[in-house]
Structure 1
Amino acid sequence: MSVTDPRRSPLHDHHVALGASFAPFGGWEMPVQYSGTVAEHTATREAVGLFDVSHLGKVRISGPGAAAFVDRCLTNDLSRIQPGKAQYTLCCADDGGVVDDLILYLVGPDEVFAVPNAANSAGVGRRLSEVAPEGIAVDDEHDRHVVLAAQGPASPAVLAEVGLLTDADPLDYMAFVDAEWNGRPVRVCRTGYTGERGYELIAPSDGAGVLWDALAAVVAEQGGLPAGLGARDTLRTEAGLPLHGQDLGPDITPLQARCGFAVGWKKDAFWGREALLAEREAGPRRRSWGLRATGRGVPRGHMAVKRGDEVVGETTSGTFSPTLRTGIALALLDTAAGLDEGDVVAVDVRGRTLECEVVTPPFVASHVR
């Protein structure tokens, strides 16, 4: 394999055996679907889907005061949570643009485990390393772990059946526990990216196939399916969850993307603080909204949104919603246009007008809690 070839999950052969189709994503070759995106989407909403998301980054920050150091860099207020909890946060540039969004696992005051997006993992680690004080280590552990996600209403039963949780201890939302399975450590966190109740598992890459097979067997018993990145995308879009590089990015700030909840506004320091405070004071010039098609057609990303003849924004993500059976999109709309819930706009779908209703995301009610 050349240096330009995409990376593969340690579970690649298991996906091949299941008949998965693959596509490049964030520098990785990952399964897009097995039995079909709609079937996998529906299985996750109604039962359980099993995802391999090992392309996600894994960065350990450790040393005396590691948590306080991370808190001075990233946007959210890490002091709001206790060890054993996870937190959604953002890595911003000085101008307030989003370098990446990520999940932090607070192990203790001297250790934080970060899960950035695949394409941005090295960049986030480098930024932290460049300003880390003496005694703080920032270690890229991307290849040491797999990340699996069991998502859907039957996910607690799946984890209980394989022995990773008990029925009496299903974990609170955004809480994690370090368990042991088959003699190996597995970090189990009740979070995910689908809008459904679910869990993400971080396990050693070596021998991860045994864990995947055990989970897949119980998922099948529960009426679920292995699911690829196609279903992950339709699920997260229905849930109104942003994807970095589309709905968040260097030119899209947290306030524009409705992620202001992940900013510790009262903190004295974090990257991009001054720019974001100034934007909050002035009000963002654009804001993310949901668009639900009222006619036949599917909006995609980077399509003009119009009110009459006036362009008032652009879609950032778009797909067909298997749950709603219609096209949906996330879009950045100019605040000066004064659009609000229930207004009607038009998306230019390759020269054809598609009428859409402006809605507040999510499109489908969340069941994560």
Structure 2
Amino acid sequence: MSEHSASDPAPLLGPLDDLHRGLEATFAEFGGWSMPVSYSGTVAEHTAVRETVGLFDVSHLGKASVTGPGAAEFVNRTLTNDLGRIAAGKAQYTLCANDSGGVVDDLIAYLVSDDDVFLVPNAANTAAVVAALAAVAPDGIEVRDRHRDFGVLAVQGPRSSQVLNALDLPTDMEYMAFADAEIELDGVARPIRVCRTGYTGEHGYELVPQWDDTAAVFTAVLAQVSAAGGLPAGLGARDTLRTEMGYPLHGHELSATISPLQARSGWAVGWSKPEFFGRAALLAEKQAGPVRRLRGLRALGRGVPRADCVVRVADQTVGFCTSGTFSPSLKQGIALALIDTAAEVSDGDTVVVDVRGRDLPCEVVAPPFVTPSTD
């Protein structure tokens, strides 16, 4: 999240801005959008997702479509993961790489059919992803930015199925699958895509309604979330939840200069594919071995490591934190950090994080920090 200065353009407003203000949310700018950070407090919202259910508005996420004869094959020649591994009705985590092997964005690709792929990139990177694909799209393939055509809501937590069942929405699907359905709003059936995806590590769903239907869908879902003992949740809880899972956030664990191999996201690269953006650079890095690698850090004392904090071993700088937060689940500070491979740091070792001039000992661990329940 970033501070907004008078010289910057005003942040964009999502379809639920008035509803969030009615719920007395606190706001911050994220990816160019004004987004709710919390309603009742980050710890309470985090706990609701882990123990009951939480509802997030993530309509700031990008949406794009790639359509036309052979659209899926075209996407497979550009993005890193192998779209051929999944069937229609399934989704896949993938990356849009640059020529040097860095990451333009990480995104979810929904395979609707061989001729229709729906993409959900990050808010600030949608235009860059669309431009990269459009620049090489052959005749007959249309790449469209559909950011304001759809909203996105995330229903996450152990009682998420209960919430959707109460609204007669489908829940019986595998992780990373989706179904197109309808939801009744004021007596009228409206189209909605229900996806068994999320960014929290909990069993959950992401709902993709039409932009103009998003407020009515949010209101209907929130009523069921409240009935199930859950809460609306903001980006503060979303960040603590994803950090506990070790999930990367673009601009922190992935970037134009941080490759999938460095971020331990090499599993999202179809190494045997003959073609995708950044292939040559990534194959070269794989052969040579990355010069740094993402690791988890768990504070051994009081203190919270934060992004950009220096990591040291025996007074030698060996890396820096990419994300850091207080873990509500563990009741201690945790971080993700890029550590030089030459330092030969292993899980179980102790490193020191410089937190505002104070040394904070941390144990090196392999994320996730908590046990996921997404399956």
TM-score (norm 1): 0.98
Query: Is 2:325 aligned against 1:319?
Result: yes
Matches within 5 A, 1:166-315: 169-182=171-184, 183-315=189-321
Question: In the alignment, which residue of structure 2 is the partner of 1:62?
Answer: 67
- Aligned to 1:318, the other structure's residue is in SS state strand
Cα distance between partner residues in 2 of 1:207 and 1:265: 40
**C-alpha distance after superposition, 1:222-269 (max 9, x if no partner):** 110000000000000001000000110011000000100100000000
Give the Cα–Cα distance (whole angstroms) in 2 for the partners of residues 95 and 54 of structure 1: 31
Deviation sequence 1:31-59 (CA, Å, 0-9, x none)? 00000000000000000000000000000
Code of the aligned partner of 1:73 = T
Among 5, 9, 22, which residue is 1:17 paired with? 22
Q: Name the count of aligned residue pairs.
A: 365
Percent identical across equivalent pairs? 63
| 2:372 matches 1:366 | yes
Shift of 1:335: 0.6
Q: Return the alpha-carbon distance in structure 2 between the equivalents of residues 252 and 366 of structure 1.
A: 25
Name the Cα RMSD after superposition: 1.0
Q: List 4+ stretches of structure 1 deviating above 3 A.
A: none
Q: Give the equivalent residue in structure 2 for 1:159.
A: 164
**CA offset at residue 5 of structure 1?**
1.1
Cα deviation, 1:146-204, whole Å, max 9, x if unaligned, reads: 00000001001100111112xxx521000000001121110001010001111001100
Could you tell me which runs of 5 or more consecutive residues in structure 2 were left unpaired when the two chains were aligned: 1-6
Alpha-carbon shift at residue 3 of structure 1 (Å): 9.0
- Which structure 1 segments of 5+ residues have no match? none
**AA matched with 1:290:** G
SS of the equivalent of 1:146 reads coil
Aligned residue in 2 for 1:339: 345
SS of corresponding position for 2:128: helix
In 1, the alpha carbon distance for the partners of 2:296 and 2:99 equals: 28
1:74 and 2:76 matched:
no
Offset at residue 207 of structure 1 (A): 2.5
For 1:345-356, what aligned pairs fall within 5 Å after superposition?
345-356=351-362
1:38 maps to: 43
Whether 2:130 is the aligned partner of 1:128: answer no
Residue in structure 1 matching 2:54, options 49, 53, 77: 49
2:3 alignment partner in structure 1: none
Give the structure-2-normalised TM-score: 0.96
Q: Is 1:29 the counterpart of 2:34 in the alignment?
A: yes
Distance 1:43 1:3 in 2: 35
- Partner Cα distance (1:22, 1:203) in 2: 23
